Chains A and B, each alone.
Chain A
């Protein structure tokens, strides 16, 4: 069992989930309650990782973050090392790759909040931000949980983006899914079996946690 890979995978999934929540909550509020015409193209761009082959996304990221672009050079200068083939590079790739899985449940949940409740909060003195904080988000609690679980599980299971942007450096960018690939390449099926089982268990537990809440009727 590759403990370093397991630890790296969990660390990556946790950091990615935290970053994703910080980004997707405000973004989902804008998509659900805003009136801008830019919402449709932005929503389409954010959904791209669902349909795009992960290798395509990984390739573009690798190029964009590499020394060929001024963005890549600026980041390298700022961090002291290139983003590609590092943990932070993996986080950037995972955040983009899993964004739709965090965003979609939030947009759906916030969009389903009864507008008469937001009107009531407005006449009771709550401005736009307080209406979201005090009314819309508490009522979308189950969507927040769904977004976190899906982002976490999806990051645990990613392969293509991680391989393209991170390579396969033990302890730094070698996640469980890549370790599994290596083990199969080496015909080490006993190891591969254990790795696969761990991945299956993590994702299954996450989904059990999600659906058991749903069946207890906590999805209001």
Chain B
């Protein structure tokens, strides 16, 4: 798609991604070769497990350097590499300002919940930092565990804290990888709505990976369907997922 076409009548994409990466060697290798642009503020990345969704998020966040590809984030080229060469450009993860919540909440085990959320607030004045931590823990429903250590938390509580910690760093985009998988339906709806409102208020785009179909119809404006490392469909959630219902049936099986 040329730039003129993609920009016609639409805002500029917040993310342009093309990735070519081979995991492992020769026969057993998995080939990730995906390309898409995102305009919608809320996008769902959907596909069966092992299709490369998490790897795509890691490429965007700067945690995985692909063999070749290009990542343009809000108009800035943060990664660019031609096959078999050194990257022409590779902004390291800690300079990309991407809020990333991985499947594994990865809370720092030696820090309390509040200290985990405050991790990125090192230079903020103490009073302002603790107010920010309190706000974010309230937003994610984790205020009651603020003084506890990560090992004392349930899976769902850890996910709430991981989200609060990612938001505290004032990201310019949010990548959520199965962020609510350990929560029940009611809790995930409430938390998703809170995070959504927080991000909308600040104009922060969100890309979510989920198996849960409910997420596709709750707030997401666009869905990207990926299978075996390739993008197989992209568009408005209901129509796209309807067209891909065979895949969905596979995923539900």
Contacts and interface: CB of A to CB of B under 8 A. Distances in A.
Interface of A: 114, 116-117, 119-127, 130, 134-135, 138-139, 220
Given A120-B162, A124-B120, A127-B94, 15 more contacts: A114-B106, A116-B106, A117-B108, A119-B93, A120-B100, A122-B63, A123-B61, A123-B93, A123-B94, A124-B119, A125-B94, A126-B94, A138-B110, A139-B110, A220-B109
A117 B106 contact: yes
B134 interface: no
B182 interface: no
A123 B110 contact: no
Contacts of A220: 109-110
Contact of B119 (A114, A119, A121, A127): A121
B59 to A, nearest CB: 13
A51 B120 CA distance: 45
B108 A123 contact: no
Contacts of B107: 120
A138 B119 CA distance: 14
Interface in B115-134: 119-120
A123 B92 CA distance: 9
7 contacts: A117-B109, A119-B93, A120-B162, A122-B94, A124-B165, A125-B120, A139-B110
Contacts of B93: 119, 122-123
A55 B169 CA distance: 56
Interface of B: 61-63, 92-100, 102, 104, 106-110, 119-120, 162, 165-166, 169
B162 to A, nearest CB: 8
A123 B166 contact: yes
Nearest to A127: B94
Given A114-B106, A116-B102, A127 B169 contact: no
Contacts of B97: 125
Nearest to B62: A122
Given A125-B169, A135-B108, A119 B94 contact: no
Contact of B106 (A119, A127, A138): A119
Nearest to A117: B106
Contacts of A117: 106, 108-109
Contacts of A126: 94
